[in-house]
Structure 1
Amino acid sequence: MMSPSRARCGRRWLRGRRSRCWSCTSSSGESPRPCPLPAARGLPPRGGTSTTEAHPPSWVVPTLPHSPAGRDQYDGGAPAVVGGAHPPPLSASLERGDPHRPAERLPTTGSAEPPPTTQSTTRTASELPRIPAYPAAERAVRALAEAVKYAQWRRDAAEPGKVHEYEDIDESGAAAMIDGLLARGDGDPRGMSLAADEARELLGRYGIHVRPALPASGPDEGARAAERLGYPVALKTTAPHLRHRPDLGGVRLDLTDEEQLRRAYAELTEALGKPEELRPVVQAMAPRGVDTVVRAVIDPAAGAVLSFGLAGAASELLGDTAHRLIPVTDRDAQSVVRSIRTAPVLFGWRGAAPVDTAALEELLQRVSRLVDDHPEVAAVSLEPVVVATQGVSVLGASVRLAPPPARSDLGPRTLPAY
């Protein structure tokens, strides 16, 4: 880096303990010469006039020895001069505050005591502030989102919801029916699956109404079933390999008269097989809506669990299903409906009409009450559950009963709110 004196003179420099301008110093190094600097540099002309020692010119640059020891012993002398003026001794320049050499940076002989130094306080690792560090901003945002979710969980746990008491629930009648069905069984520890009529009756005691489906072993029987239920009707198969598979053509919808019903029956049996294999049924049409699935099962580790999702590929292929422990409160029912990724379909996605989520939440709580009141109910599956703009329609249901498992802990197996 160029020194201030060299920047002012711009001439060739000598090496040594004191920097001098070649043209400003004689060959013997004793008598100074006028420095021929151009006036454009803002310096005095050749042979510049002397100034008083009280106010030395700004172009006077004192030079110091290189070693700190030499600086302490230095008491003035003949520094390099630009313009022919000799500066005062260095001690006077330091006391006055030379603009080129601040006094606080240059120690002098007999100077004041050095300023006291403060000792740094050593703190242990536990006393140091803990600041989380992340290698990328994305991870920091993800950690912040998890902290927000945890705080929301803490708030929800501090103010839990309540389990509704429905007046139309027949708990004693359902208990008597379950005991009778288990007594009639063969004692299999895995339990027994109820028939369609038995499952519909048991669910009806808890206010869960399943639309009846009448068997149609032939076209004539299907026509009589449609007359009994009322048009329009749907014709669908109940074979295990075709259940809930509308893509295979096992369902015919919106049949408004007997002629359409007979034509659909002939096409169904011709494409998929004999009526004995298909087990076709006739069911009254439900209002248009969103198809969902509601399940409840007894898990060996978690206990009774309620599951919800959209019917079809969303839950079966993508696994978009939400779960809550039983008994489900009103707040749990609201959160489970809104926690699936496809929840916008229920709330008017792409301009569609929002469906009746309040009726859906009530259905979830009724299923929860059934499983919570009767530990013999090992599994419940409602599929599909059509959620329309007004109300819900349960089109299919299956129930499995089993002897209640032995449990030493009672109540829901929920995480505590610390």
Structure 2
Amino acid sequence: MTDDKHGGPPVHALLADGTTVCIRPVARHDHEQLRGLYEEMSPENLRLRFFGASRRSAEMAADRACAAPHPGYRALLAERQGQVIGLAEYDTSGAGTEAEISIAVADGLHHRGVGTLLVEHLVSAARAEGVTAFVADALSENREVLRLFADLGLRTTRRFEGPEVRCTIVLDEDDTYLSAVEERGRAADVASLEPLLRPNAVAVVGAGRRAGSVGRAILHQLHAGGFTRRLFAVNPAATAILGVPCHPSVTALPMTPDLAVLAVPAATVPETAEECGKAGVRALLVVTAGLDPDQVRSLLATCRTYGMRLVGPNCLGISNTDPALRLDATFAAGHPRPGTAGVAVQSGGVGIALLDGLSRLGIGVSTFASLGDKYDVSGNDMLQWWESDSRTDLALLHLESFGNPRAFSRTARRVTRRIPVLTVDAGRTDAGRRAAASHTAAAATRTMTRGALFTQAGITATRSVGELLEAAALLHSQPLPAEARVAIVTNAGGAGVLAADACAEAGLRLPAPTPQLVDDLLAVLPEGAAVGNPVDATAAVTEEELANCVDRLMRHSGVDAVLVALVPTAVAAATGDDLVRALTRAPARRVKPVAVIRLEQALPVELLPADGGTVPSYSEPQAAARALAHAVERSAWLARPAGTVPALEGVETERAHAVVERYLDRNLDGGWLDPRSCAELLDCYGIPQLSWAWAETEDDAVLAADRLRGADGRVVMKGYWPGLLHKSAEHAVHLDLRGDSQVRAAFRDLETRFAGLLTGVVLQPLADRGTELFAGVVQDQVFGPLVLFGLGGTATEILADHAARLAPLTDHDVHDLITAPRCAPLLFGADGARPVDLEGLEQLLLRLSRMASDLPQLAEADFNPVLATPGGVSVLDARVRLLPRRPQDPYLRRLR
């Protein structure tokens, strides 16, 4: 049996209890194990499976699963450490889009999610083959299988026929099903991380007797940090290290540790991991660096075989500051302060900086993971852990790569509704690596793609570790502002000006105070105060006056946040007033954020102790404004309901697949669609195109021009040959052609200049005047399809006025795409002009998104220009490139 016929290559995934299984197609050599799977079932389970108990049932079932493949049949099995524990099959009987499904799970392994996981993988395979529904017959007393079908998250109907019930499961991939899969995946993921982040026993393998070794440093951190559970060292040359009992090998330990920390030479990591797996260790932390590709493959294969979760290799370690555990398995210089921030990083240096910064701020850390080379445990895993951890109210990430960005995005969208998720947008210099294949690929930088991911997921993206800590301080300590209206108060006019500039540059608004507010503030401020925005309270302001001023600003409906810029003065020193205390003495009553700017402050950001909380204090106005702007963005994201992907009429998905398959059958390596195939593909999705005609001879061109001419009689001629990308750059376009003679002359010109290349021409009526836009999509192998939109025409690359969102686009995403580019005012009717057809523009982007989501073979599409007028929207020029790619379900539960 081949992978292509039976559901793809083997993958590993997690059961409900966090154990690892392999899901793979059935092979002929599985016959004995499959027969044993059935023979070892109890008579009752055999009766429920086969509606009777026959000695031939096991043999016949194994024969069926291992028979030569036939169209419409798939069989997947689940195995653990080489032992088959479950089987799921479907069969369409060679025709139709409905398939019979059957499931078998080994006795003793029910209620652990084996059957559900197998069905999820069958659903994914079936959808790719055009199967639209599963049907299954079961005895009405078989509550377990009926519950499995009911809990999948798919639409299921039942029809009772005597003692039997016929279930029909519709294979719609809607959000209900994805959410159900996500929830099952989250629970399994968290369960699998328990041995790693809440181990009952830890062994440090490779702890040295001499000071300076990494293993000894980690052992010291665990021992000195007060790890509350069992701790062992593994070293054949010692009986104790740092007072910790030492044993010659993992197998010689008095008990099997949940977590083994490997600090051994790279060459011995695979062998040591194998020893751990055989001993029953459930998680590995590999701090060793320098593993070669073969060693990495061996390490990961061992982890998958024995069901061990892996952090690293090449990492700083992990920590859980829960007082009941006090796990510090790192080689950082100090212990992290217990607190409420979850931290996951790929860089050990960034990890140390964040641990130090969070400890200094007093926020502290709940759980820390240095992911290193990130071959298994990822940022997605840690987000799900923090989502389930009542101790974490803030998540900080530093990720240089994403294993499954689409799954990460769905997880992050859910988690950010509960706690702030912040990241350092690392690797921004990837923007310099631009593809040159087309306008779309050139515009779609990795920076733009990551930005789209963060924006759509509600993640607060910062540009440095310092900015990350600045934002974390405010989000941790202050309520979110309702909007971006900021009032500035200062005791020094110059400091207020600096703060005002910083706010404006950060996109915050500084509304002028109302007359009533002016009167209220003047009533509590000293003589000479100037009430504008900023409010100059003068150097004579007292602690009480400043507190009253801030309180009145807080109560004003036109103010969402207050920034207080203070400088030390001799006046305050002489009177004994503490202006900072005016802001920290009663923050518990405040429902709006307040932050302090102290230009003399030595540290970039501090959290000042206050009654009932803390107040953030910044040494630079720009830092305070940036942090507040991040809070405004988070508030706006939370206030907006989750978007939906609108249903579209007139989409012919099957026809589109046929167009793609027909082209790839003729062009095995893929390429750019010819104009006729391209137009047909766009027509499958109802994407509006300007009228056009294809001509291969001069006479055909004249006839086509006669049919296409509008009221003014002018047409456009565009040359075409395979591989032509930039018609304007090649001077392969003739505009404003009038009459037959000009059409003939234009055709002859193209035929002469591009002799041996030209295969035909495209003719179109000269388009009306309007706004020229650009829309396109790039299918990123990691991030999925990215939709771009912005100013089009010949200026699209020069001005680079583009916005991007990851498909599938929701209604909110489309709105963001249209309003984000600098050219957006042109679309909404700038300078008294009529707005363009915004609804038509939204439909075009949604249909482009749908096309990219439906067709993984669509490598890129480039619509430039798209003409937008008040009367409608149409594509004037389109190019589409296809590649022979297999569809892959980004939401299917599997480990990397």
TM-score range, shorter-chain basis? 0.5 to 0.7
2:873 aligned with 1:388, yes or no?
Answer: no
Aligned residue for 1:150? 634
Letter in 2 for 1:135: E
Aligned ranges 1:1-400 → 2 under 5 Å: 127-128=609-610, 129-136=614-621, 138-156=622-640, 159-182=641-664, 184-185=665-666, 187-188=668-669, 191-216=670-695, 219-230=698-709, 231-238=713-720, 244=726, 246=728, 250-262=732-744, 273-274=753-754, 280-312=761-793, 314-399=795-880, 400=882
How many angstroms apart in 1 are the aligned matches of 2:671 and 2:682?
A: 16
How many angstroms apart in 2 are the aligned matches of 1:186 and 1:409?
A: 30
- TM norm structure 2: 0.29
How many angstroms apart in 1 are the aligned matches of 2:725 and 2:793?
A: 12
Distance 1:176 1:253, change over 3 A: closer
Letter in 2 for 1:344: P
Give SS of 2:654's match.
Answer: helix
Q: Conserved in 2, the CA contact under 8 Å of 1:211 and 1:395? A: yes
Q: Conserved in 1, the CA contact under 8 Å of 2:777 and 2:787? A: yes
Q: Conserved in 2, the CA contact under 8 Å of 1:237 and 1:250? A: yes
Letter in 1 for 2:651: I
Give SS of 1:354's match.
Answer: coil
Q: CA RMSD in A?
A: 3.4
**C-alpha displacement of 1:309:** 1.4
Residue identity over aligned pairs, in percent, reads 35
> Going by fraction, where is strand more abundant, 1 or 2?
2
Letter in 2 for 1:153: W
Aligned residue for 1:404? 886
Q: Conserved in 2, the CA contact under 8 Å of 1:292 and 1:311? A: yes
Q: Conserved in 2, the CA contact under 8 Å of 1:194 and 1:401? A: no
How many angstroms apart in 2 are the aligned matches of 1:265 and 1:332?
A: 43
Letter in 1 for 2:857: E
How many angstroms apart in 1 are the aligned matches of 2:839 and 2:722?
A: 32
How many angstroms apart in 2 are the aligned matches of 1:254 and 1:389?
A: 23
> Going by fraction, where is helix more abundant, 1 or 2?
2
Q: Detail structure 1 runs of 4+ shifted over 6 Å in the superposition.
A: 239-242, 266-270
Larger RCO (CA within 8 A; separation ≥ 6):
1
Q: Conserved in 2, the CA contact under 8 Å of 1:324 and 1:336? A: yes
How many angstroms apart in 2 are the aligned matches of 1:268 and 1:192?
A: 23
Give SS of 2:678's match.
Answer: helix
Distance 1:274 1:370, change over 3 A: closer
How many angstroms apart in 1 are the aligned matches of 2:792 and 2:655?
A: 31
**C-alpha displacement of 1:363:** 0.6
**C-alpha displacement of 1:306:** 1.0
Letter in 1 for 2:716: A
Structure showing greater radius of gyration is 1
Distance 1:343 1:239, change over 3 A: farther
Letter in 2 for 1:209: P
How many angstroms apart in 1 are the aligned matches of 2:852 and 2:623?
A: 41
Q: Conserved in 2, the CA contact under 8 Å of 1:314 and 1:320? A: no
Q: Conserved in 1, the CA contact under 8 Å of 2:714 and 2:736? A: yes
**C-alpha displacement of 1:360:** 0.7
- TM norm structure 1: 0.58
Q: Conserved in 2, the CA contact under 8 Å of 1:237 and 1:243? A: no
Gaps of 5+ in 2: 1-605
Distance 1:346 1:245, change over 3 A: farther
Q: Conserved in 2, the CA contact under 8 Å of 1:217 and 1:276? A: no
Q: How many residues align?
A: 281
How many angstroms apart in 1 are the aligned matches of 2:729 and 2:668?
A: 38
Q: Conserved in 1, the CA contact under 8 Å of 2:863 and 2:877? A: yes
Q: Conserved in 1, the CA contact under 8 Å of 2:801 and 2:821? A: yes
* Offset from partner CA, 1:174-214 (integer Å, 9 cap, x none): 234434443x14543xx343221112112211111333543
How many angstroms apart in 1 are the aligned matches of 2:864 and 2:733?
A: 15
How many angstroms apart in 2 are the aligned matches of 1:263 and 1:194?
A: 27
Distance 1:360 1:269, change over 3 A: same
Give SS of 2:617's match.
Answer: coil
Distance 1:287 1:186, change over 3 A: closer
How many angstroms apart in 2 are the aligned matches of 1:285 and 1:313?
A: 17
**C-alpha displacement of 1:318:** 3.2
* Offset from partner CA, 1:43-83 (integer Å, 9 cap, x none): xxxxxxxxxxxxxxxxxxxxxxxxxxxxxxxxxxxxxxxxx
How many angstroms apart in 1 are the aligned matches of 2:784 and 2:647?
A: 22
**C-alpha displacement of 1:346:** 1.8
Letter in 2 for 1:201: E
* Offset from partner CA, 1:268-318 (integer Å, 9 cap, x none): 778xx3465566432122332111121112212211211111114553123
**C-alpha displacement of 1:160:** 1.8
